[in-house]
Structure 1
Amino acid sequence: MYITDDGVSRWSISFEENGYLKPNDKLIISESCVFALNRIKFFICPNAYFRKIISKVLERRNFEIFDASTVLDILPSVCSGRLFGVFENLDNLSGHKIRVLFQTKDSSWLTFLAVLRSAFRRNPPVRLEFFVFLQGILGRTNVDVTYLSPLPPEAYNSLVAICTHVSLQDRGGASTARLYLKMGARRSAHPSSVPELEYSSWDEVIAKVTQRSSREVIMANAQTILGEENRSLHVLSSIYC
């Protein structure tokens, strides 16, 4: 079974709430899902990240893991590469504005307002533009906000391509971050687990996004992602080929 960070996170929430994995329509966990998970022997996922939590949630260790990360892009890889190339050539047109995709799924108003408070308090020297999956309107200041509804893959990929930074939430977004870094984009940040990119407060997020990453760091990130992708493809080829 191929599993993702989103699925594992939902299983973990159910386990923490109930003390065991329980069907939950809101978490998209059916009785059939629980039945299958308790019997599956092989999982495809990054071993270092998921083995411990899978063992905890399923309360068993009699399973094996094919250690492979996701290799799937939002669009076919060739199309994604061309799209990022177009925006890279147009990059200078954006001037000094910093565009931030704030989390890759629906976000709460309380969380986003905390970010805005930090942005206003720090009074960033450059213009910040946030893209966020929320409903509502705020007055215009030196911080612009564009509110988003669910987007088709082509539009979402274009949005990711024009952003200078991406902020992730705890659950989901790994595929977006992988594509973003692989294409040599600027910076991705995560609240935990990724030492170079992690943050512990929203003030720290605002401080990081107003600092330009060096080209060396950007390309090192891209090479790290490509190296992991090639390793995972080798593992997957041993299963499917």
Structure 2
Amino acid sequence: MIFFNKHVYIIPEVDNFFYLHVDALINKAGIDSESFCAIFVSDDKNKTVNGYPGVEYINSQLVDFSELQSAKTITSLSLNSLNSEFISNLIKFDESVIDKFYIYITDDEVDRWDRIYKKFGLLKAIPNLHISNDDLFVLSKVYRFIGLEVIFKNTLERVLERKVKLVNSGCIFDILTCKDFDCIKGNVLFDKDKKEKRIWFHTKNLIGGSSDIKKLVNAYISFAKAFDNNIHFVVFVNNIKTFLYVSAAILYLKKIKKLPVKIDVLNHTDKYSYMQQLATCDFLILQPRGGASTARSLIKIGRGMVCTLDGTKNNFGFEKGYKVPVIKGDSYLSLAQQAKDEKFDITTSALILEQREQESLSKYKELYK
């Protein structure tokens, strides 16, 4: 029985998450790779994937639900219309499975559930938000989740209208495998006294549309003022439309605002090169939501500080969830002025975040013992 005494994960066919997550469980928590098994949800029974070494991957089309009953735990990475049909069928086959079933939640799906609940007073299926009737069925049954209590518990219990149990654990992985991350961390050169500050604006794939470009212009003007134009911005774009928006913003800053503009525009790159670029930055101006793994990676290498605007989910997540000091303010000018004043300790933030990660790892060690 391939699932006997295994910790089974239900993951997407195209995975960018489980690979790093299980890498951290193995290399940071010291859990044997053979303890894990991954079911990737696919419509093609002939589909195979190249997964993490030492971890067996099974096509969802080939899974015998009766064999899954022998697993120690079953964890779904997120819940959406792409995986909920499989999970719904599993629960309908034998509802007792919910006693060992967990959903690893992220702010993405919880935010969607919350928006629907606030609008309609209850959860309902909305296809364009990737919420199906199968999602609703699964959420009506499952009561175990993995995520930071201070961030998710109140919202979950409000939208589900019942009590839930949470494994109180935050993110344990970085944007690279442990080996690659340690390699970059060990080669970081940090000159706190260098005059020009390198600033990453938002994270990969999240700049887009005129509203974000206006924010970019505002942020650049604010930091240029605070640092007497001794700044160098980095932005990541993933489509031609956004590239044209950024080009227009650069032209505006040069011709209208008369600023000596330095903005590096990055596009398609591998994760290792992305992290190498990030490791050159003194500050990361984080968008309101998303990008937490990138921000954590910058803090952990002890290279730069994260800036968040007041009232955003990211500000709440770092201050209340991880309890890590970040630069916060009600405007980009406020962030820039605080960055200039240097009333922060990068080393302390890195140590606090490492401590929080160890606390989360201890929860997984207990869960997967």
Give the TM bin, normalised by the shorter chain: 0.7 to 0.9
1:51 shift after superposition: 0.5
**1:55-106 deviations in Å (ceiling 9; x for gaps):** 1222222x201111110111112311211332x23x45x9532222222242
* Alignment partners' CA distance in 2, 1:67 and 1:127: 39
Contact 1:5 1:174 survives alignment (8 Å): no
- Aligned partner (choices 169, 188, 192) of residue 306 of structure 2: 188
Change (3 A) 1:150 1:11: farther
Partner of 2:199: 100
3-state SS of 2:306 partner:
strand
Relative to structure 1, the CA distance from residue 237 to residue 72 in structure 2 (aligned partners, 3 Å threshold; closer, same or farther) is: same
One-letter amino acid matched to 2:273 = A
Over residues 121-176 of structure 1, what are the superposed CA-to-partner deviations in whole Å (9 max), with x where a residue is unaligned? Answer: 66331223132444320225433233344643223322322221112223222212
With over 3 angstroms needed to count, the CA separation of the structure-2 counterparts of 1:212 and 1:32, relative to structure 1, is: same
Q: Alignment partner for residue 206 of structure 1, among 308, 321, 336?
A: 336
TM-score for both structures, normalised by structure 1: 0.84
Amino acid at match of 2:329: Y
Q: Give the superposition deviation at 1:12.
A: 2.3
Match of 1:131 in 2: 235
- Residue 115 of structure 1 and its aligned partner are, at CA, apart by 4.3
| SS of structure 1 residue aligned to 2:110 | helix
Higher mean Cα deviation, 204-213 or 228-237? 204-213
Partner of 1:85: 186
Q: Could you tell me how far apart the structure 2 residues matched to 1:28 and 1:151 are?
A: 28
Q: Are residues 117 and 69 of structure 1, via their aligned partners in 2, closer, same or farther at CA, if it must alter by over 3 Å?
A: closer
- TM-score normalised by length of structure 2: 0.57
In structure 2, the CA distance between the partners of 1:218 and 1:95, relative to structure 1 (3 Å rule), is closer
Distance 2:277 2:221 in 1: 24
Structure-to-structure mapping, 1:196-235, within 5 angstroms: 196-212=326-342, 217-235=345-363
The answer for the alignment partner of 1:173 in structure 2 is: 291
Is 2:68 the partner of 1:68?
no
| Letter paired with 1:199 | G
Asked if 2 retains the 8 angstrom alpha-carbon contact of 1:9 and 1:171, the reply is: no
What is the distance in 2 between the residues matched to 1:60 and 1:149?
A: 44
Q: Which has the higher contact order (CA 8 A, sep 6+)?
A: 1
- Stretches of structure 2 that go unaligned for 5 or more consecutive residues are 1-102, 310-314, 320-324
2:139 paired with 1:37: yes
Q: CA deviation at 1:119?
A: 3.6
In structure 1, C-alpha distance between the alignment counterparts of 2:340 and 2:213, rounded to whole Å = 17
Counterpart of 1:114 in structure 2 is 215
The change in CA–CA distance for 1:66 and 1:185 in structure 2 (over 3 A counts) is: same
In 2: Cα distance, 1:60 partner to 1:205 partner: 39
Letter of the 1:102 counterpart = F
CA 1:135/1:229 → structure 2, altered by over 3 Å: closer, same or farther? same
**What is the root-mean-square deviation in Å for CA atoms of aligned residues?**
2.7
Q: More displaced, 195-204 or 38-47?
A: 195-204
Question: What's the offset of the Cα at 1:234?
Answer: 0.7
Match of 2:124 among 22, 25, 29: 22
Q: 1: CA distance between counterparts of 2:270 and 2:124?
A: 32
Structure 1 distance, partners of 2:114, 2:166, is: 18
Q: How many residues align?
A: 236
* Runs (5+) with no aligned partner, structure 1: none
Bigger shift: 167-176 or 121-130? 121-130
Counterpart-to-counterpart distance in 2, 1:233 and 1:32: 31
